[in-house]
Chains A and B, each alone.
Chain A
Amino acid sequence: LAKTTQPISMDSYEGQEVNITCSHNNIATNDYITWYQQFPSQGPRFIIQGYKTKVTNEVASLFIPADRKSSTLSLPRVSLSDTAVYYCLVPSSTSGTYKYIFGTGTRLKVLA
């Protein structure tokens, strides 16, 4: 099964760019890497998803190297409201059976 590793926590100041990396081995071929944001007492919320190279949407960018053994979520110019826990999610296929492996999560604290 794929195993993921993320930094436990990060601090940043408002207006800075934040990069959070998730390391994952044994990721299933042709499957996407997805990042979620979670606020206290809420379910995770989708941020961005990608398969390779770089993906950008209105809130974040996702960088995936050619070996796909890691991915980096980039949040441009964070604000106080970006304080949350960020998870990467990778599928892992064993004998055709899928398991969905959430990372350990990175607790981001944005300071004024």
Chain B
Amino acid sequence: NAGVTQTPKFRILKIGQSMTLQCTQDMNHNYMYWYRQDPGMGLKLIYYSVGAGITDKGEVPNGYNVSRSTTEDFPLRLELAAPSQTSVYFCASSTNSNQPQHFGDGTRLSIL
């Protein structure tokens, strides 16, 4: 089992550029999550989804968009990259809200 796969692993963007961080899981989990982790800090929830077609905002959704067209995929979109979005982004999935979350290896994003 691949688990949760995130691509790319690293990316450098210029201010104002856009990009999509990809996340896919092969565990047939209903719940999927996007977190960001700034250096030396904890994880903050950006968006989450409880199933295909359903998404909701987390603690820090501004500047991001998500979609969930399939159970497997949960891409995160940055429309106008800003230096404040430099961070490590983690995608996770779980069976439901009370089951443990399985995390990907993260995407390191730098915006210059």
A residues bordering B, Cβ < 8 Å?
A: 31-32, 34, 36, 41-46, 49, 87, 89, 91, 97-105
Asked if B90 and A44 make an inter-chain contact with CB atoms under 8 angstroms apart, the answer reads: yes
Contacting A99 at CB < 8 Å: which of B58, B90, B98, B105?
B58
Residues of chain B at interface, number, CB under 8 A: 23
Partner of A34, one of B44, B58, B100: B100
Q: Does B74 contact A (CB under 8 A)?
A: no
In the assembled complex, how far is the CB of residue A64 from the closest CB belonging to chain B, in whole angstroms?
A: 14
Among A42, A44, A100, contact of B45 (Cβ-Cβ < 8 Å): A100
Cross-chain contact B48 with A46 (CB below 8 angstroms) = no
Q: Which B residues are within 8 Å of any A CB, using their own CB?
A: 4, 33, 35, 41-45, 48, 56, 58-59, 90, 92, 97-98, 100-106
**Distance (whole angstroms) from the CB of A44 to the closest CB of chain B:** 5
User: Which residues in A have their C-beta under 8 angstroms from that of B4?
Assistant: 43
Q: Which residues of A contact B102 (CB under 8 A)?
A: 46
Of listed A46, A100, A102, A104, residue having the most chain B CB within 10 A: A100
